[in-house]
Chain A
Amino acid sequence: MERKILLKHLDVPGIRTFGVFRSTGGYRSVEHALKNMTPDEVVEEVKESGLRGRGGAGFPAGMKWSFIDRKSNKPRYLICNADESEPGTFKDRYLMEKIPHLLIEGMICSCYALGANTGYIYVRGEYKYIIGILNEAIREAYDHGFLGKNILGSNYNLDIHVHSGAGAYICGEETALIESLEGKRGNPRIKPPFPAVVGLYGCPTVVNNVETLANIGFIVNHGGSEFARYGMGKSTGTKLISACGNINNPGVYEIELGLSVREFLYDPKYCGGIKNGKELKAVIAGGSSVPILPANLILQTAAGAERLMTYESLAEGGFVSGTMLGSGGFIVYDEDACIVRNTWNLARFYHHESCGQCSPCREGTGWMENVLHRIENGHGRQKDIDLLVSIASKIEGNTICPLGDAAAWPVASAIRHFRHEFEEHVLHPERCGRNEIGKLENVES
């Protein structure tokens, strides 16, 4: 049975507009929270729900909210992270485009819970058309008294502003995002202090992903314990997965956490199997930053258990034989995909996106790209493979923000699981007739 929380009303015509959204029960949670609940009670429900951040790290949302500095008499802020720039991840865009009011509703409840009177949505610069959609939704919410002063006759005031990013992946990192929102260069801050204590304009701030916040309405309406009945174990609720690569049905799917990877990959309701009857070679399960797994390890854990779409199951085996759910960008490679070329492609991305603040990431990402480029183009040597492993291991864990790790993991895992392919490239580069998936035009090689 398929149970949905976020995309339940996706097919209702006009769901993007306030009127239709409201007629499906939209904004009820705001009425309920403002009339019948204290802010702390909302926080408690979110804790109870077990909802984990959907932006990548999977940090429990309720716990993050409880860290906010309540003793400070400074204003508090909620920031919705809609920067979504991770290669392979395009779920937030879908949600905001189709049902923007779900995010606004969730943000109002969340701001109320946090005692914030201002909320920001920081949208990836390339999502220009979504800014229009969000602004329209916000305008409708103001018109109907769900935003602005004295919301629904209460003494609670809230304004939500949409802010456009300018095209840097790093501005999705929460502290770089805050810097950028303040009008500064988008460099990640050195933590601690964490945003919950010193965030936007030096004030207590919570940063949450679009999908995380879109779940809050349901939790307020039905209670945290009802939410926790969706999903499996500590992976509660549903998850939007953006599936792409060599599959029959690329797209965004809402799955209940706990679905098996096999079913997600082969069921016609979801990915529908590998395109053109090819064999599965590898999957990057959670957006480009997480380790790649070969076919056997993505379908089953090293111990032989069925691999499930949960935070825990995907992580089983650690980095030796596991990966991460991450942000839910599910990238599938068929037997014709060249792992070396695709790894180089990812390395090039991280090199391009490093902010350049800290030495291991600034220098190491470019170095890895260069060496991979050399191997891909037939000028590699066996020792280059170990060199890559060494560079990746020295970036990992030694940087200011997780972009360094995100750059190191794809390279390290590709070599861990596909070393033979790298070696083959060194010995017989001319024999590789494989492809780069999703290859763009005009990309120099």
Chain B
Amino acid sequence: MLKVTIDNHTIEVEEGTTILQAARLIGGAVVPPAMCYYSKLKESGGKCRTCLVKVAQGSARDPRPMPKLVASCRTLVADGMVVQNITSPEVLDTRKAIVEFLLINHPLDCPVCDQAGECQLQDLSYDNGREGTRFEEAKRTFKVVDIGDKIQLHMNRCILCYRCVYTANQLTDKRSHGILYRGDVAEISTYIQNDITNDFSGNMIDVCPVGALTDKSFRFKNRVWFLKPMNASRSCSKCSGKVTAWLRGEEIYRVTGRKDQFDEVEEFICNECRFDKKELTDWTIESPRNIQRASVISQNHYLKAKNPSVILPLENRTVSMEDFDKEINNELYS
């Protein structure tokens, strides 16, 4: 076992653990945000740079600090390593800059984006963004395209995390989804405008951290925070059949994978479960799904905290419905 200290929390982890995984084991505010890494997708991570942390001590054997900030999702823990995330002003300052980079070309069209409310970029900006913008140029734009009849691609919103590419490569056998061109005109595309038709393509929607890949059958149907997430299951020959069904009243508005506190699905689900089973009778509804991540869908509102260093550990994050209502009323009527 290796001992690692992250923001003054010390933990023992197995060899081969990354700094990010170790931080997730500690939990709470020391967990760096991860926009591209996805634990279920091989090779993911390293790209968005939101998870950069400072290694103040490389290891017990070689205590020198690492010269640059490192991507915590791709850097392995060494015994005696000391890491600073939210305790390092340099890390927070850099993260702020990374968020700014991610946003300069982003359309900021949250009001008409289906991802709003469960968007990792929204959460990231809320925690680490700057007020106002220093970018005055025209934003780059792409046309909206359909990738098959189930999924819509809004390339304007894409942060090029490559998660959907790895999903397409790793979950499905015929590879027709990838990235064209380079730099800031790079775009997600399917080979010669192919439709994506395989049984697991819908998972791209779940892995996409932003609203670049959205579920066409849910388009503009409802706001996610008006829906009630329920654990639901059915016996399915293609996948585990364990899903989250999003209900309003008696109606299932959409079906997704079951996401954990880091916004990763527990298991990938098949397209039949996702797109074709929208009747209550298709499912055994088990229990309300507790969305643990800090987002507007968790308790129907964001935590009031600007500086991530003062965000409470997760377990202290419950805000009662009464408090929430009070706050909203205060804001609206004061």
Contacts and interface: CB of A to CB of B under 8 A. Distances in A.
Do A and B truly interact? yes
Given A394-B94, A399-B49, A362 B183 contact: yes
A363 B102 contact: yes
B78 to A, nearest CB: 12
A398 B98 contact: yes
A365 interface: yes
Contacts of B86: none
B182 A363 contact: no
A419 interface: no
A14 B72 CA distance: 56
Contacts of B159: 359
B182 A356 contact: yes
A260 interface: no
A183 B105 CA distance: 30
B110 interface: no
Nearest to A366: B184
A394 B97 contact: yes
Contacts of A110: none
A353 interface: yes
A370 B159 CA distance: 20
A416 interface: no
B142 to A, nearest CB: 13
A398 B104 contact: no
A168 B181 CA distance: 11
A120 interface: no
B101 A360 contact: yes
A190 B52 CA distance: 14
Interface of A: 168, 170, 185, 190, 351-360, 362-367, 370-371, 387, 394, 397-400
A228 B181 CA distance: 45
B183 A354 contact: yes
A363 B101 contact: yes
Interface in B313-327: none
Contacts of A387: 134
B153 interface: no
B47 to A, nearest CB: 5
Contacts of B46: 190, 358, 400
14 contacts: A185-B178, A190-B45, A354-B182, A356-B184, A359-B159, A360-B101, A366-B184, A394-B94, A394-B98, A397-B69, A398-B69, A398-B97, A399-B49, A400-B46
A351 B182 contact: no
Contacts of B137: 367, 370-371
B228 to A, nearest CB: 35
A365 B186 CA distance: 14
Instruction: Name the 4 nearest CB pairs between A and B, nearest first.
Output: A394-B97, A356-B186, A190-B46, A363-B101
B179 interface: yes
Nearest to B67: A397
Contact of B182 (A170, A359, A397, A400): A170
B94 A190 contact: no
B58 to A, nearest CB: 13
A354 B184 CA distance: 8
Contact of A362 (B50, B68, B186): B186
B98 A357 contact: no
B74 A190 contact: yes
A363 B102 CA distance: 7
A170 to B, nearest CB: 7
Nearest to B71: A190
Interface in B139-164: 140, 159-160, 162
Contacts of B45: 190
Contacts of A168: 182
A113 to B, nearest CB: 29
B191 interface: no
B52 A398 contact: yes
B207 interface: no
B226 interface: no
B10 to A, nearest CB: 25
Contact of A359 (B98, B134, B185): B98
B116 to A, nearest CB: 21
B221 to A, nearest CB: 31
Nearest to B98: A359
B48 A362 contact: no
Contact of A394 (B50, B101, B179, B184): B101
A398 B182 contact: no
Contacts of B94: 394, 398
Given A360-B97, A397-B69, A366 B183 contact: yes
A359 B69 contact: no
Contacts of B178: 185
Nearest to B181: A356
A371 B178 CA distance: 31
Contacts of A351: 183-184
Contact of B179 (A185, A353, A354, A367): A185
Nearest to A364: B101
Nearest to B138: A370
Interface string B196-225: 000000000000000000000000000000
A138 to B, nearest CB: 31
B99 to A, nearest CB: 9
A359 B121 CA distance: 13
Nearest to A186: B182
Interface string B175-196: 0001101111110000000000
Given A354-B183, A356-B184, A362-B183, A398 B49 contact: yes
Contacts of A398: 49, 52, 68-69, 94, 97-98
A315 to B, nearest CB: 16
B69 A363 contact: no
Nearest to A383: B134
A397 B49 contact: no
Nearest to B50: A359
A358 to B, nearest CB: 5
Given A356-B182, A357-B160, A398-B69, 9 more contacts: A185-B179, A353-B182, A354-B183, A354-B184, A356-B184, A360-B98, A366-B140, A367-B135, A399-B49
B183 A359 contact: no
A371 B159 CA distance: 22
Interface string B211-255: 000000000000000000000000000000000000000000000
Given A394-B94, A398-B52, A359 B101 contact: yes
B179 A362 contact: no
B104 A362 contact: no
Contact of A365 (B105, B162, B183): B183
B49 A359 contact: yes
A400 B69 CA distance: 11
Contacts of A357: 47, 160, 162
B68 A359 contact: no
B9 to A, nearest CB: 25
B252 to A, nearest CB: 36
Interface string B104-127: 110000000000000000000000
